[in-house]
């Protein structure tokens, strides 16, 4: 296997280098064929690399820049003032062929906008989309898109999301003819926004796509569909609601008494009694699913949660490496020709 280089915007996210640099080192340790270009403030980055082994350091290059796109900036303002920012420079490195993919935990709107301008949508794609995997209760995964890149959508956009999601699921989840569901507020054909019903009509006519109908929010975790398609607004609401519910419930079960003379007995009993439940609770931990991908672009771009911890950001880097190695953009382009 050949070497792979990713460009990282290490200034993005709620915390910045103190998360993204340890995460980068973790990703490099786990993947010896990976190299990283770190775009950000050298003064903040360098001290975080000082305990690092030479084998890892050899695969890191810092590209110093001090400008950062703020999370609170509107998209158009952010784009106009993006020159020299860590996010833009990272994307430009991909554009210039210096890296095969980009990871950022920064402003989603700006990342989307800049990616579209610098890396361009794939031929035939009107709107790239934000896609991620969500866990299912049966230990499987589903693919869900759009998760917030496109607030306003029409039926044609949803139809393209379904195509891209289907191809993504084929390769990411190793599925044949993935089942596609449209997120809606009922399963009857009269339910929901007109553009969703129109998208359903388009999908029903396609024999190449395995469209199975509407899916409601309460069945998102149940693996009823391999690909869940929605507009970016509803998709984002649903995903964040899922994440919040999962994190809250997991937190309840982390509230074990810290000191208790029966703790060893407790731990043993709980492990045995609830092993299955626990494994599956762990399986729905949002940290395991960090990294939404912008698909429909000519290169791999992965957006990490702004609040990602070290493991979660490392997961996003690993995901970008996986997609770049498998040449996902080329796979989607080839798939588009089939539909």
Question: Minimal distance in Å, beta carbon 197 to a second copy?
Answer: 11
Kindly state whether residue 75 participates in binding a second copy, applying the rule CB under 8 A. yes
Cβ distance 166 to 176 under 8 Å? no
Q: Looking at beta carbons only, is 53 or 279 nearer to a second copy?
A: 279
- Which parts of 148-299 are beta strand (E)? 179-183, 210-215, 227-229, 292-295
Kindly state whether residue 253 participates in binding a second copy, applying the rule CB under 8 A. yes
Name residues contacting a second copy, limited to 14-43 (CB under 8 A).
Answer: none
**Residue 123 tokens, joined:** 């031929």
Kindly state whether residue 276 participates in binding a second copy, applying the rule CB under 8 A. yes
Rule CB under 8 A: choose which of 1, 174, 258, 262 binds a second copy. Answer: 262
Question: Minimal distance in Å, beta carbon 121 to a second copy?
Answer: 22
Window 185-224: contact mask with a second copy (x via CB under 8 A): x--x-x-xx----------------------xxxxxxx--
Q: Looking at beta carbons only, is 226 or 243 nearer to a second copy?
A: 243
Query: H or E element: which one contains 102?
Result: strand 101-104
Query: H or E element: which one contains 170?
Result: helix 155-172
Query: H or E element: which one contains 36?
Result: strand 34-40
Question: Minimal distance in Å, beta carbon 272 to a second copy?
Answer: 8
Strand order in the sheet with 227-229: 60-64, 34-40, 4-9, 101-104, 300-303, 292-295, 129-135, 141-145, 227-229, 179-183, 210-215
Kindly state whether residue 51 participates in binding a second copy, applying the rule CB under 8 A. no
Kindly state whether residue 174 participates in binding a second copy, applying the rule CB under 8 A. no
Of 3-11, 231-239, 288-296, 323-331, the window that binds a second copy (rule: CB under 8 A) is: 231-239
Kindly state whether residue 181 participates in binding a second copy, applying the rule CB under 8 A. no
Cβ distance 48 to 78 under 8 Å? no
Q: CA-CA distances (angstroms) from residue 291 to 83, 104, 133, 194, 314?
A: 25, 9, 9, 31, 9
Kindly state whether residue 74 participates in binding a second copy, applying the rule CB under 8 A. yes
Question: Minimal distance in Å, beta carbon 17 to a second copy?
Answer: 23
Q: CA-CA distances (angstroms) from residue 222 to 135, 139, 251?
A: 9, 10, 22
Question: Minimal distance in Å, beta carbon 89 to a second copy?
Answer: 23
Q: Rounded to 5 degrees, what are φ and ψ at 4?
A: -135, 135
Kindly state whether residue 257 participates in binding a second copy, applying the rule CB under 8 A. yes
Q: Rounded to 5 degrees, what are φ and ψ at 38?
A: -100, 115
Our measurement of the distance from residue 215's CA atom to the centroid of its chain's CA atoms, rounded to an integer in Å, reads 21
Those residues with Cβ within 8 angstroms of residue 18's Cβ, 6 or more apart along the chain or in another chain = 48
Query: H or E element: which one contains 39?
Result: strand 34-40
Q: Looking at beta carbons only, is 158 or 220 nearer to a second copy?
A: 220
Q: Looking at beta carbons only, is 1 or 252 nearer to a second copy?
A: 252
Q: Looking at beta carbons only, is 37 or 182 nearer to a second copy?
A: 182
Rule CB under 8 A: choose which of 58, 152, 204, 330 binds a second copy. Answer: 152
Contact residues toward a second copy (CB under 8 A) are 71-72, 74-75, 109, 137, 148, 151-152, 183, 185, 188, 190, 192-193, 216-222, 232-234, 236-249, 251-253, 255-257, 262, 265-266, 269-270, 272-274, 276-277, 280-281, 284
């Amino acid at each position: 296997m050949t070497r792979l280089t990713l460009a990282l915007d290490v200034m993005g996210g709620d915390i910045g280098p103190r998360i993204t640099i340890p995460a980068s080192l973790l990703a490099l340790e786990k993947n010896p064929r990976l190299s990283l270009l770190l775009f950000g403030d050298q003064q903040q980055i360098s001290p975080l690399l000082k305990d690092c082994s030479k084998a890892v350091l050899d695969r890191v290059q810092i590209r110093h820049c001090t400008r950062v796109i703020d999370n609170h900036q509107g998209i158009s303002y952010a784009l106009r003032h993006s020159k020299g920012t860590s996010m833009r420079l990272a994307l430009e490195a991909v554009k210039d062929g210096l890296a095969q993919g980009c990871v950022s935990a920064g402003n989603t709107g700006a990342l989307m906008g800049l990616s579209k301008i610098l890396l361009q949508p794939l031929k035939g794609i009107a709107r790239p989309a934000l896609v991620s995997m969500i866990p299912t209760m049966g230990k499987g995964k589903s693919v869900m898109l759009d998760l917030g890149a496109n607030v306003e959508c029409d039926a044609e956009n949803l139809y393209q999301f379904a195509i891209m999601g289907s191809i993504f699921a084929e390769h990411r989840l190793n599925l044949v003819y993935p089942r596609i569901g449209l997120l809606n507020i009922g399963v009857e054909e009269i339910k929901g926004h007109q553009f969703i019903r129109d998208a359903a009509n388009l999908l029903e006519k396609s024999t190449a796509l395995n469209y199975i109908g509407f899916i409601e929010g309460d069945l998102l975790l149940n693996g009823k569909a391999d690909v869940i398609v929605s507009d970016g607004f509803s998709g984002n609401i649903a995903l964040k609601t899922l994440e919040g519910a999962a994190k809250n419930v997991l937190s309840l079960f982390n509230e074990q008494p810290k000191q208790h003379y029966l703790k060893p007995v407790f731990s043993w009993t709980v492990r045995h009694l609830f092993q299955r439940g626990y494994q599956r609770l762990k399986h729905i931990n949002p940290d395991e699913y960090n990294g939404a991908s912008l698909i429909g672009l000519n290169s791999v771009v992965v957006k990490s949660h702004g609040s990602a911890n070290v493991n979660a950001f490392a997961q996003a880097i690993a995901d970008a490496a996986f997609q770049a190695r498998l040449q996902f953009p080329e796979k989607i382009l080839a798939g588009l020709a089939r539909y």
